[in-house]
Amino acid sequence: MKKAVRVMGLIAVAVLTVAACKTMETATTLVTVIGVGSGVISSSQGESIQRSAVAISRSVESFTPEQEYYIGRSVGAVVLSKYTAYANTQVNQYINMLGQTLAKASDLPEVFGGYHFLVLESDDINAFATPGGHIFITRGLIRCCRTEDALAAVLAHEIGHVQLRHGMQAIEKARVTEALTVLAQEGLKTYGSREVAQLTQAFSGAISDIASNMINNGYSRSFEYQADQAALVILRRIGYNPSGLINMLAGMEQKLKPGGLDFAKTHPAPRDRIAEIQKPDLTFTSVVQPKIRQERFIKAGSQL
């Protein structure tokens, strides 16, 4: 009898929740009621699920930096199934010194596991950034840069994608809802095999959404232009010449092969990006690179 009252109570809570909230909570509520009714979960766990379903809202914003980190690791593993890491300590150290310093001047200087950069052994002109802050850049793209300021622009553009959460926004909405529904079950002390299977399915879907967007289709033009704007801000803050971005794009314009599966396919044409950058009628002055900065850039580049 007591149990029946409790279940009735829960149903009342459920009805209220349904009245007050949107679809995802509704789904969780129904699952919870079914779970309690069938004895799969205790009613206190049930209440806990009810509460957190409201607590966790329904957008990608709801993923914690820790979860973005795990998504990032696996997206990175997918990138590395298509490209080989360039195992050169000196060049990777240089790229991390430059990239991690730039990231600190972004609007998202702190990500769960920190920003990390890796050079890819490929003549393609390509770069990728995962939601967790793993950033990859091909040898081919580094070769489009003639100065450290230009290379800084490439890395700052990728940091811009992380900061603006472009990768996370590639995840299909249904998948987000699905994952968050399972995540809402905080009352469960540990995941059973069913929850792990559900989560893994959502995880797997999220990885493929992001990877296919990033590697095959490319983000929208507006995302690319936004990342360019973020890059300009980061460059200025650190003290690089923002015209590094324009110089890099000009270098890329010369090297991109039409029909290529790299930036030729996934990014707006460099000349379009340059036009977009110069739209607000900004003047970019070319400044002579300090000798010492140019020397370390050439030294690192000689390792490619």
Contact positions with another protein (CB under 8 A) in 110-149: 110-114, 116-118, 134, 148
Q: From the CB of 272, what's the least distance to another protein, in Å?
A: 27
Residues 154-173 that bind another protein (CB under 8 A): 163
- Is 44 or 217 the residue whose CB approaches another protein more closely? 44
Phi, psi of 302 (to 5 degrees): -70, -15
Binding range to another protein, per CB under 8 A, among 2-10, 23-31, 85-93, 276-284:
85-93
Asked if 73 interacts with another protein (CB under 8 A), we say: yes
DSSP the chain: -HHHHHHHHHHHHHHHHHHHS-HHHHHHHHHHHHHHHTTSS-HHHHHHHHHHHHHS-SSGGGS-HHHHHHHHHHHHHHHHHHS-B---HHHHHHHHHHHHHHHHTSS----TT--EEEEE--SS--EEE-TTSEEEEEHHHHTT-SSHHHHHHHHHHHHHHHHTTTTGGGS-HHHHHHHHHHHT-TT-SS--HHHHHHHHHHHHHHHHHHHIIIIII---HHHHHHHHHHHHHHHHHHT--THHHHHHHHHHHHHPPTT-SSHHHHS--HHHHHHHHHTT-------PPPHHHHHHHHHHHTT-
Binding range to another protein, per CB under 8 A, among 216-224, 229-237, 244-252, 274-282:
229-237
Size of the site for another protein (CB under 8 A): 75
Q: From the CB of 92, what's the least distance to another protein, in Å?
A: 6
- Is 269 or 303 the residue whose CB approaches another protein more closely? 303
How large is the C-alpha radius of gyration of the chain?
24
Binding range to another protein, per CB under 8 A, among 14-22, 25-33, 54-62, 212-220:
54-62
Residues 231-250 that bind another protein (CB under 8 A): 234, 236-240
Residues 28-47 that bind another protein (CB under 8 A): 44
Asked if 58 interacts with another protein (CB under 8 A), we say: no
Q: From the CB of 153, what's the least distance to another protein, in Å?
A: 14
Residues 283-302 that bind another protein (CB under 8 A): 290, 292-293, 296
- Is 3 or 293 the residue whose CB approaches another protein more closely? 293
Tokens of 189: 């002390």
Q: From the CB of 65, what's the least distance to another protein, in Å?
A: 5
Binding range to another protein, per CB under 8 A, among 9-17, 34-42, 89-97, 271-279:
89-97
Asked if 186 interacts with another protein (CB under 8 A), we say: yes
Among 179, 210, 252, 277, binds another protein (CB under 8 A): 179
Asked if 59 interacts with another protein (CB under 8 A), we say: no
Asked if 187 interacts with another protein (CB under 8 A), we say: yes
- Is 5 or 292 the residue whose CB approaches another protein more closely? 292
Q: What's the CA gap between 299 and 304, in Å, rounded?
A: 10
